[in-house]
Chains A and B, each alone.
Chain A
């Protein structure tokens, strides 16, 4: 994948963003690191704009800032998302939840779009609880809705996800 940068059209794009215009249109942009920095997007935030934040931006009318992502920090091992982006290694198992907002899109990109484990599970661990499998299904529906640009439907699904996540 050597997409040229949308701004300078010279360097390969390494920062990929999806944002929502004030008119509610989904817009994809691909920038090189230099041009991204010029626009105030830090390299550490590349690829980190995910669905949830995208929707937050759409629904709340606000703008997703790289700062929100840079501020993520694991409460347990104290690793910050910026530190993770700099050395590529997570600090503890909790980071997967602490950084979830920013990490999901990275994980999906590394695993051909997948973000749900299939395969062996420890025998000691019980099958996922119903709420968890609901969540998995809803997250999948959410991705589909956004891909099809059905943002109102996506917002509804997002609300249901939030209801399950914060009982």
Chain B
């Protein structure tokens, strides 16, 4: 059973619009971390999984005692509640579908969650409405620091934070911004955004919410490269370069639609010198 605190909240923070919210629906950062001295989860025994969850829970619960966090053992959560947690983006479907001891610590305001024993030992995530990447980075960096005071992470002088999948190695950071781009979609210009994003090694995917209507106007843009660039640089790319330009393009496309003007002159590039 999910505690009353979470149930009452019913994800209401999502109803409060954030900065640039007419186009930026939400922004999110997650960090992948593993505990030193244990195998990754694909090679971990049941005992090791349980031990990891117990150790991590102590550090996550220590803050829960202040009433800020709630730790849920996923085996103790029924299907309906699991579904709700997935819909509120607090846990992944992968966590639900995997087997063995696993859990999640959720902040009472539901902006932060730490999944235990998903693909990596720890997946820390902070999600907020609108464009708030700086605040999110400061917050998640602080959470990571506090955990690191008590846990020794698997870290490599050359490869950085070690992850089960080498595509996450290094910073272990995934920055994602969800955008509402109806005009770019309608005019077909979204294809150019796709290409420009690809040039910058960013992934763009159309979002069809689970259980909700497929709107087709929502797009999630996220970094793919996690090695060789610092967290702050990755965040700055989104904040200063990528997202403001996409917002400009979307606004242009909206104006052109209203004035029925062709969009032919528009070029799409995220390169710092262009535009």
Contact = CB atoms under 8 A, between A and B. Distances in A.
Contacts of A125: 155, 157
B229 A90 contact: no
Contacts of B141: 120
B43 A117 contact: no
Interface residues of B, number: 42
A112 B165 CA distance: 16
A93 interface: yes
A9 B79 CA distance: 50
B27 to A, nearest CB: 19
Contact of B158 (A91, A93, A116, A123): A116
Given A115-B228, A119-B230, A123-B148, A90 B171 contact: no
**Majority secondary structure of chain A interface residues (helix, strand, loop or mixed):** loop
Contacts of B42: 87, 89-91
B170 A91 contact: no
Nearest to A78: B43
Contacts, number: 118
**Majority secondary structure of chain B interface residues (helix, strand, loop or mixed):** loop
Contact of A124 (B152, B158, B159, B173): B152
B247 interface: no
B182 interface: no
Interface in B83-133: 119
Given A111-B225, A116-B228, A91 B155 contact: no
B166 interface: yes
A79 B171 CA distance: 24
A91 B43 contact: yes
B40 interface: yes
Nearest to B141: A120
A107 B168 CA distance: 10
A79 B43 CA distance: 8
Nearest 7 A-B pairs (CB), nearest first? A114-B228, A117-B160, A119-B230, A91-B43, A111-B227, A92-B39, A93-B154
Interface of B: 34, 36, 38-40, 42-43, 119, 141, 144-145, 148, 152-162, 164-167, 169-171, 173, 201, 224-233
Interface of A: 76-77, 79, 87-93, 96-97, 103, 106-107, 110-125, 128, 132, 135-136
